[in-house]
Every structure is written in structure tokens, then in C-alpha cells.
Structure 1
Amino acid sequence: MAENSAPEAAPAKKGKLKLIILITVGLILAIALSVAGTLWFLGGGLPGMGDDTETEEEVAGETFSPTVYLEIEKALVTTVQGEGRQRYAQAYVALGATDPQALTAAKLHLPLIRSQLVMVLGSSGFTELQTPEGRQGLAETMLTTVNQVLEQEGEPGVNQVLFRNFVVQ
């Protein structure tokens, strides 16, 4: 009887091995389909499926150019329109541009730019300079003024006017 039970154990082991292999292949297939589906739904496409229509010229045109800054060392100080009292405004300003030539031009024409910025700051109202919206509006007006000066001189414009320090009293 021992001989009869031995042949039955061998087919049972082969059946379990086939079952384990089928389950493993099924899991691997499910994981692969899950990854492919996720990539497709996220819009990345499937790797190796072509559809890469970008040419070398398009990739070269997308180079990153960091912003370069020019700090105006001396503060812009002026009186501002107050509520019946004499009020003061002081601003330390920096200019930002992605084109270094614009900052070189700004440095060259800095006396004219400082003069115009002091005029813009002096024409602002004390109450508007106390609000974040008022300071943002001042920065935009200053940016327009700086770019007008640079345009008159035939130079490229700057992208940003930043306040390093701003005080009204």
C-alpha cells in the first residue's frame, strides 16, 4: 500500500507548482497592466510607443535662462503726500531681468533711472503705500518707468522691480 500512495504525491506536487507559476505570472501581468494604464491616463504615454515629435530645435529653444538681479545700493528716499503732515518713504530697490544686457544697460543709465523712481515714489500717497496692494501697484509703476527709460535709450527692458526694504512713516 505504500507503493500506491507514492505515485499520488508526485502529481499533487506538480499541480501545486503549476498553480504557483500561474498565480505569479498573473500577478506580474496585473502589475504591468496597472503601470501601463497609469502612465496612459496621466498623459505621459507609454514608453517606447513613439509619438515623440519634438525636434532638436524645439528642445534647444526651451533652454532655461535664470533671472539676474541688480541691486540699487542707495535707498530711494522722498516725502510723500500725507494726511496734513509731512511723510517720508524709503525704498531699497533691485531690478531683475533674464537678459544680462538689460541690467548692464540699467547700470549705465542708473542716475536717470534713480531720478525717475524717486519721482514715482514721491507722487504716491501715504495711505496707498501702507497696503500690500498699493506697494504692488508702486512696483508695477516703477517697472513701467524703468522700461520706458531703457526703451528711450534703445536698450532691452527688465522683468521685475523688487523691494529689498520698504519703509513709510
Structure 2
Amino acid sequence: MLRLLKFILLLIIVIGASVGATMWFTGRDSAPSAPTAEQAVQVPAAPVMVPVPIFAELDPFTVTLYGETRNRILYTAITLRLGDEASRKQITDYMPEVRDRILKVLSAQQLPQIQTPEGRQALVDALKATLARPFAAQLPGPLIADVLFTAFVVQ
């Protein structure tokens, strides 16, 4: 019995020594070394300030598209992404003229073209160009960053 107890105690000591040596050797290899020049110079980057987007939501438009065989109805809701607050004020102040310009562009569209992604992109480009023109001779045109369709239905 005493012999078995000595063997178990010796086994525990050997296992403990093995675990301790393993931890000591692996801990020594992964110990933090002196920082390199690159690590010492790292400065946290300043947070990037993203400008708040400026949107002007327009009332929906309903336009008749004339086709060869039959007429269709285009219902679309448009939101303008503007470059600055002065552009938003100008769009708001000249809203009847803004809506008139958009209606003229929408009513001139052909059904097959606006049903494709390329056609809708061409429509966006046409609306941007139309709305970027000055509303008054003494004013610069508004900065139209993008024209966004929030609804686009053809019936």
C-alpha cells in the first residue's frame, strides 16, 4: 500500500513538473518584446466626420406614358440628395418649377427604356441635369448629388 502511494505521489510530481515546464517555455516565447519603431509611432486615427446627408422628398408623380399599342401609367416617388442647405432651400422655394421640370422629363420617357436599369439610370441623369439648371438668372443652380426613386410603378 505504501509502495502504491509513493508511486502515485511520484506520478503527480512528474506531471506537475511537465505542465509547469511547458507553461514556462511557451510563456517565455510569447512574452511581449520591446515595441518596434512602427508600433511605438502608431497614433490612433482621428474619427472621420461623415457629413449628414441632405434630402428633399418630393410628392409622388403620376404620368401617362404613351405607347404604340396602349398607354401606361407611371407612378414614381422621388427624393433628391442635395449638396448643401442652400440647395435644399432653393428646391423648396422653387417647388412648382421643380415639379414642372420633373413632369416634363417623366412624360417624355418611352416605356421600354425606363423598364431597364440602364434606362432608369439615364432618367436619373436627365433629371439631375434638368434640376441643376438655375431657377433664376442671378442664382446658381442647386447642387443635386443624386436622384433617388423611392417608388417606381408602371401599370
If the length of structure 1 is used for normalisation, what is the TM-score?
Answer: 0.64
Distance change >3 Å, CA 93–CA 79, structure 1 → 2: same
2:103 paired residue number: 118
Following TM superposition, where does structure 1 have runs of at least 4 consecutive aligned residues deviating by more than 6 angstroms? 15-19
After TM superposition, give the deviation of residue 130 of structure 1 in Å.
1.6
Pairing partner for 2:29 from 26, 29, 35: 26
Cα-Cα RMSD: 3.4
Quick one: distance in 2 between partners of 1:167 and 1:157?
27
Contact 2:76 2:150 in 1 (8 A): yes
Residue 91 of structure 2 is aligned to residue 106 of structure 1: yes
Structure 1 stretches lacking a partner, 5+ long: 1-14
For residues 76-91 of structure 1, the aligned pairs below 5 Å read 76-91=61-76
Q: Deviations over 1:37-74 (max 9, x none)?
A: xxx9xxxx933226x6x9xxxx69x632121211112x
Structure 1 segment 121-132 matched on structure 2, within 5 A: 121-132=106-117
**Which residue of 1 is the match for residue 41 of structure 2?**
49
Q: Which has the higher helix share?
A: 1
* Residue equivalent to 1:8: none
CA contact (8 A) 1:65 1:98 kept: no
Read off the aligned partner of 2:28 and give its amino acid letter: V
Q: Name the aligned partner's letter for residue 109 of structure 2.
A: S
Q: Number of residue pairs matched?
A: 137
Q: Assess, with a 3 A threshold, how the Cα gap between structure 1 residues 119 and 65 changes in structure 2: closer, same or farther.
A: same
Q: Structure 2 vs 1, CA of residues 27 and 146 (structure 1 numbering), >3 Å: closer, same or farther?
A: same
Structure 2, gaps ≥5 residues long: 1-16
Structure with greater contact order relative to length (CA < 8 Å, sep ≥ 6): 2
Identity among equivalent positions (%) equals: 21
Q: CA 1:167–1:19 in structure 2 vs 1: closer, same or farther (change >3 Å)?
A: closer
| Closer/same/farther in 2, CA of residues 27 and 168 from structure 1, 3 Å limit | same
CA distance in 2, matches of 1:119, 1:155: 18
Give the whole-Å Cα distance in 2 for the aligned partners of 1:136 and 1:123.
Answer: 15
**TM-score after normalising by structure 2:** 0.69
